């Protein structure tokens, strides 16, 4: 679309001001009640969020990766006198659970958006700029390999988000279109050969291709 149209302008605004307009969602399931309320799991989340920003493939790189650990570190900082050095994961599993409970009791409504009610699952939201979705198809394949390996000893992952609907559809559309063009070219060439003979049939196809270009 022309860059001055409303949709491209809006997408560019989202890319510049909100880290991106494409959302990639990872749903983590520890398989254990309150499995996400441990220092090990929260530190793994924090590490993943940092490394996800540097994970690049086929020209795609995310601008933001967020999860419950960002809220937890902010709560810990607030309880420790707003010292910047305390923007960290609490030191023990008990403190992790207690600080999440304090946040929930204080009216924090973010909690239900990031973790399940039983504390078994958590969500990671990654935002990336709008790119041709064929690039995202390759990026998502590599992301799944990396993220699955990264959390393999802690949680199973379900990958979702709008991009997981759009990217495979576009890839399939392009592949199907390419197959259709090849099939059509073969059938038309064969018909021209049967009608005009081998030499004239091929010459007519070459002429048609040149005129098209």
Q: Alpha helix locations (H) across the chain?
A: 6-17, 39-52, 68-79, 93-105, 111-114, 133-150, 162-196, 198-212
HSE at residue 30, side-chain half, CA atoms within 13 A, is 21
Cα separation of 62 and 170, whole Å?
20
What pLDDT, on a 0 to 100 scale, did the predictor assign at position 207? 67
What pLDDT, on a 0 to 100 scale, did the predictor assign at position 57? 84
Token couple for 13: 């605004």
pLDDT tens over the chain, length 213 residues: 677 788 777 777 777 776 677 889 999 999 999 999 999 999 999 999 999 999 988 788 888 899 999 999 999 999 999 999 999 999 999 999 999 999 988 877 778 889 999 999 999 999 888 777 777 888 888 999 999 999 999 999 999 988 887 767 767 777 788 888 888 888 888 887 888 787 777 777 776 656 555
Are 59 and 134 in contact by the 8 Å Cβ rule? The answer is no
What pLDDT, on a 0 to 100 scale, did the predictor assign at position 39? 97
What pLDDT, on a 0 to 100 scale, did the predictor assign at position 212? 56
What pLDDT, on a 0 to 100 scale, did the predictor assign at position 210? 61
């Amino acid at each position: 679309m022309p860059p001055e149209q409303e949709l491209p302008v809006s997408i560019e605004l989202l890319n510049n001001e909100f880290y991106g307009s494409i959302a990639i969602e990872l749903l983590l399931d520890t398989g254990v009640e309150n499995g996400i309320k441990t220092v090990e799991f929260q530190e793994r989340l924090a590490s993943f969020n940092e490394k996800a920003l540097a994970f690049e493939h086929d020209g795609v790189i995310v601008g933001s990766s967020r999860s419950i650990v960002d809220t937890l570190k902010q709560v810990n900082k607030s309880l420790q006198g707003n010292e910047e050095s305390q923007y960290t994961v609490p030191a023990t599993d008990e403190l992790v659970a207690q600080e999440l409970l304090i946040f929930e009791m204080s009216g924090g409504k973010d909690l239900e958006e990031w973790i399940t009610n039983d504390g078994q699952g958590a969500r990671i939201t990654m935002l990336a700029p709008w790119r041709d979705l064929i690039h995202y198809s390759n990026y998502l394949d590599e992301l799944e390999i990396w993220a699955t390996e990264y959390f393999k000893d802690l949680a199973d992952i379900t990958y979702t988000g709008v991009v997981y609907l759009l990217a495979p559809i576009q890839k399939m559309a392009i592949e199907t279109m390419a197959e259709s063009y090849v099939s059509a070219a073969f059938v038309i060439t064969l018909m021209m050969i049967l009608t005009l003979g081998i030499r004239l049939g091929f010459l007519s196809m070459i002429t048609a291709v040149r005129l098209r270009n």
